Structure 1
Amino acid sequence: MTHHHHHHDHHHAPQIQALPSLLRLSAVQRLAAAGSLSVLIWLAIFWAMQ
């Protein structure tokens, strides 16, 4: 068996690697991140409708 499974650990998507750091945030920081994300989404919606 010449399969090297340990090399696949470095090829995850950045979103997967960002999840543990998001879980370490405080509740206020998570609310701020969610709020700013929803503002960005609404801005994109309004921009697309014009």
Structure 2
Amino acid sequence: MSHDHHHHHHHAHGHRAMAAAPTFSLLRLSAGQRLAGAAVLLLGLWLLVFGVMG
């Protein structure tokens, strides 16, 4: 039984670059905005934890 490993994957790099654009704009946020985002995320996480435990 012979196993053929000839899979042809066509990668469209142009679309990948377009998809990465929002991520780069996200990285441009100031430290303060990132800190605020992290704080909100943490707060939400703690509320979830206490909501489950309460």
* TM-score bucket of the superposed structures, by smaller chain: 0.5 to 0.7
Q: Distance in 2 between matches of 1:17 and 1:47?
A: 36
The AA in structure 1 aligned to 2:53 is M
Structure 2 unaligned runs (5+)?
Answer: 1-7
The structure with the larger Rg is 2
Relative contact order: is structure 1 or structure 2 higher (C-alpha 8 Å, sep ≥ 6)? 1
Q: Does 1:49 align with 2:53?
A: yes
Following TM superposition, the consecutive aligned residue runs of length 4 or more in structure 1 with deviations greater than 3 angstroms are: 16-19
| Structure 2 SS opposite 1:5 | coil
Q: Distance in 2 between matches of 1:43 and 1:33?
A: 15
Q: Does 1:24 align with 2:12?
A: no
Q: Distance in 1 between matches of 2:41 and 2:24?
A: 18
More helix by share: 1
TM-score by structure 1 length?
Answer: 0.64
What do you get for the CA RMSD once the two structures are aligned?
2.7
Structure 1 unaligned runs (5+)?
Answer: none
